Amino acid sequence: MRPMAEKLPVQNSYSIADINRRINLSKTPPFHTPPSDNNSASLQVLPILKPPLRPLPVTGRKSRRQTGNKGEKTTTTAASSDNNNSNTNSNANRFIDNVAINQVNISKSNKIDSNNRNYNINNSKNTTTTTSNNNNNNNNNNNNNNNNKSSSTNSNSNGFDIEQDRRRMIAFSENVSNFDVSEKDNSKDNDINDDNDSNNNNNNNSFYYQYSNEDYNNNNNNNTSSNNNNNNLNEEGDGGDGEENDSDADNNDEELGKQSNKADDIRLNQVLESESSMATVSHYVAQTPPKSSRMLVVREGPSKKLPQAIIIGVKKGGTRALLEFLRLHPDIRAPGPEPHFFDRHYSRGLEWYRSKMPLTIEGQISMEKTPSYFITRDVPQRIYNMSKQVKLIVVVRDPVTRAISDYTQTMTKRRSVRQFEQMVFVNNSSRIVDTSWGAIRIGVYAKHLELWLKYFPLQQMHFVSGEKLISDPAGEMALLQDFLGLKRIINEKHFFFNETKGFPCLKKPEGSGHPHCLGKTKGRQHPTIDPSVIQRLRDFYRPFNSKFYKMVNRDFEWP
Ligand SMILES: Nc1ncnc2c1ncn2[C@@H]1O[C@H](COP(=O)(O)OS(=O)(=O)O)[C@@H](OP(=O)(O)O)[C@H]1O
């Protein structure tokens, strides 16, 4: 599914326009890219390091030539002299050579330092070609004395915009330095704000949940108090479940730029040196000079993209476990906190939403989880408006245990909560199940699904068994990776069953000190519920469950 590398026939030169045209022709993104995605980093031109590059020929002479634009002159200045190369096409080549050599340097030192990051070349061999236009002729004198000044230039007659490419390279190098391939942002996740209580809108007569500001405030209050009590949970790599936690999200992003050298090494290895990871993005283009077999890798740099897949539910289904497992995959990038864009923050617009997403390179899937989406009336249409191709994932769990899990969470957050048995019926004597209680309403999956199917075909949705995610995580992850069109990288080798926790946990990657079981808010002890009440609930859900199995063509075998 990854785009094949395209080899261009050897010719004397290629303009950026040529290269871009080729890329557009050969682009076959596996996922829909939302049309508003205009702010992404632009195309990057990267020299590949094989075969070895010959040393950069540099010239000390000034040369002038008329550019393709009438009346516009470009002056070329370089540092030391052993070769006179005044032709603008060669300027372009020399620029690429500089970058190539700089990358060799990066590769050798195996880290990005601030000099590399700016491609501000201090080595005379690596002097950047300096050009200026009519307005900047004075700069030439300065540039003669300072080989490291960056260029100010125009498109040359071949359409090769040196300055534009310089900016692209700088943007790319900065993106690389901010790009985190490790799971470090996990440690910033804040699971203490465990859930959004999106089911606590008892007064809502509609079957579907509609978010109100009042709920939002309540949630914030609840979460603030729990925040203080559970700071230790942050260490456990558990996410900001059920709760938007904007500051955490921002911190995660900031964290991307503050990685250790070791992390830089990993990044470099992955982004620059590993051809397998680059295979997602590679377009190989022959490049001048003709006698050389040098190749360029042209690709898109890391950028924040709107999600191509979303875990839309269900609350207490096992969504956090699923996301943490998925994040093991190198082609998945997801924020820890729940963005709640489509239910709470829709008015902030797609750019706000995009800003909450992690950096991804081409071929990586950007995704998020917000379990309340599944039961919120406006969300299917809103997601559809963002992207008709987005893939939707729902973790479903026996609605009776899901309801008890939901109730257990509420109990931990509120001082006075009536007993489950008292809340589940409209009134105690009637034994009519109270579907206005969110804990019950969420579990009528068939009803919610009907709304989603008005907008999305079933093939675009995938249902994960919450029970199997515990008993056979590798099996469920295999199905999900298939659905997402990913290589099956996450497998049984990644999991072990932690007897103390009673759940599967992730094996520690080498060198990591982080525990890999989810936090205390996942896998809580449930209260004992009157068995007759449980039986009544099972009877209530049975027809809805049967309908749901038929709708999704899978029997989840709930009792
Ligand atoms: N590996 C692993 N570790 C811990 N917990 C696991 C795991 N897999 C699934 N689960 C189940 O996930 C339940 C919480 O679901 P969610 O993460 O969807 O909750 S939330 O809506 O985001 O708050 C949580 O529910 P409770 O047991 O009621 O706490 C767990 O049963």
Please work out whether the CB of residue 311 comes within 6 Å of at least one atom of ligand 1.
Answer: no
Which residues form the domain of 395?
A: 303-552
Given a contact cutoff of 8 angstroms between Cβ atoms, the answer to whether 272 and 107 are in contact is yes
* 522 labeled part of a ligand binding site: yes
Known active-site residue 316: yes
Ligand 1 center–CA 313 separation, angstroms: 12
- % of the chain at pLDDT higher than 70: 45
What are the helix (H) ranges across 311-398? 319-326, 350-355, 379-386
Residue 557: pLDDT above 70? yes
In a domain, 314, yes or no: yes
Nearest protein CA to atom 23 of ligand 1, as residue: 195
The CA distance from 255 to 235, in Å, is: 15
Please work out whether the CB of residue 194 comes within 6 Å of at least one atom of ligand 1.
Answer: yes
* 319 labeled part of a ligand binding site: yes
Ligand 1 center–CA 423 separation, angstroms: 22
* 320 labeled part of a ligand binding site: yes
Token pair listed for 277: 């990871």
The CA distance from 534 to 331, in Å, is: 41
The CA distance from 515 to 183, in Å, is: 12
In a domain, 228, yes or no: no
Annotated active-site residue in 304, 305, 315, 316? 316
Residue 378: pLDDT above 90? yes
Please work out whether the CB of residue 368 comes within 6 Å of at least one atom of ligand 1.
Answer: no
Residue 448: pLDDT above 60? yes
Residue 243: pLDDT above 80? no
* 348 labeled part of a ligand binding site: no
405-436 core/surface letters (b: 16 or more CB in 10 A; e: else): bbbbbbbebeeeeeebeebbbeeeeeeebeee
In this structure, the strands spanning 73-77 and 130-132 are: antiparallel
In a domain, 203, yes or no: no
Token pair listed for 293: 């077999």
Residue 18: pLDDT above 80? no
Ligand 1 center–CA 512 separation, angstroms: 23
In a domain, 419, yes or no: yes
In a domain, 373, yes or no: yes
Least confident residue range of 116-120, 135-139, 151-155: 116-120
User: Quick check: helix, strand or coil at residue 495?
Assistant: strand
ipTM for the whole predicted complex goes beyond 0.90: yes
Question: Given this model, what pLDDT does residue 428 score?
Answer: 80
List the CATH number of the domain containing 517.
3.40.50.300
Given a contact cutoff of 8 angstroms between Cβ atoms, the answer to whether 468 and 557 are in contact is no
User: How many domains does the chain divide into?
Assistant: 1
Token pair listed for 238: 């558990």
Residue closest to 439 by CA, chosen among 462, 467, 417: 417
Please work out whether the CB of residue 372 comes within 6 Å of at least one atom of ligand 1.
Answer: no
Please work out whether the CB of residue 131 comes within 6 Å of at least one atom of ligand 1.
Answer: no
* Helix (H) / strand (E) containing 252: helix 246-256
Ligand 1 center–CA 409 separation, angstroms: 11
One DSSP character per residue, 418-473 reads --HHHHSBSSTTT--B-TTSHHHHTT-HHHHHHHHHTTS-GGGEEEEEHHHHHH-H
Residue from 319, 325, 480, 522 to probe ligand 1 pocket by mutation (most atoms less than 8 Å from CB): 522
Average pLDDT over residues 31-57: 40
Question: Given this model, what pLDDT does residue 372 score?
Answer: 98
Residue from 197, 236, 244, 320 to probe ligand 1 pocket by mutation (most atoms less than 8 Å from CB): 320
pLDDT per position as a tens digit, 275-297: 333 333 333 333 344 445 556 65
Ligand 1 center–CA 326 separation, angstroms: 15
Cis-peptide into 314, omega within 30 deg: yes
In a domain, 470, yes or no: yes
* 526 labeled part of a ligand binding site: yes
Given a contact cutoff of 8 angstroms between Cβ atoms, the answer to whether 215 and 204 are in contact is no
Least confident residue range of 106-115, 332-341, 438-447: 106-115
Q: How many contiguous H segments (helices) and E segments (strands) does the chain have?
A: 19, 15
pLDDT band at residue 109, thresholds of 50, 70 and 90?
A: very low
Residue closest to 417 by CA, chosen among 430, 398, 404, 429: 404
Average pLDDT over residues 484-509: 94
Ligand 1 center–CA 193 separation, angstroms: 14
In a domain, 420, yes or no: yes
Neighbours of 355 (CB within 10 A): 15
Token pair listed for 45: 């031109």
Please work out whether the CB of residue 318 comes within 6 Å of at least one atom of ligand 1.
Answer: yes
The CA distance from 127 to 78, in Å, is: 7
The residues, any chain, with a CB within 8 Å of residue 276's CB and separated by 6 or more, are none
- 3-state SS of 271-324 is HHHCHHHHCCCCCEEECCCCCCCCEEEEEECCEECCCCEEEEECCCCCHHHHHH
Query: 157 exposed, middle or buried (CB, 10 Å; 0-12, 13-18, 19+)?
Result: middle
In a domain, 157, yes or no: no
* 405 labeled part of a ligand binding site: yes
Please work out whether the CB of residue 520 comes within 6 Å of at least one atom of ligand 1.
Answer: no
Residue 530: pLDDT above 50? yes
In this structure, the strands spanning 391-396 and 461-465 are: parallel
Given a contact cutoff of 8 angstroms between Cβ atoms, the answer to whether 517 and 503 are in contact is yes
Please work out whether the CB of residue 443 comes within 6 Å of at least one atom of ligand 1.
Answer: no
pLDDT band at residue 455, thresholds of 50, 70 and 90?
A: very high
Token pair listed for 470: 């515990």
pLDDT per position as a tens digit, 207-221: 554 443 323 233 333
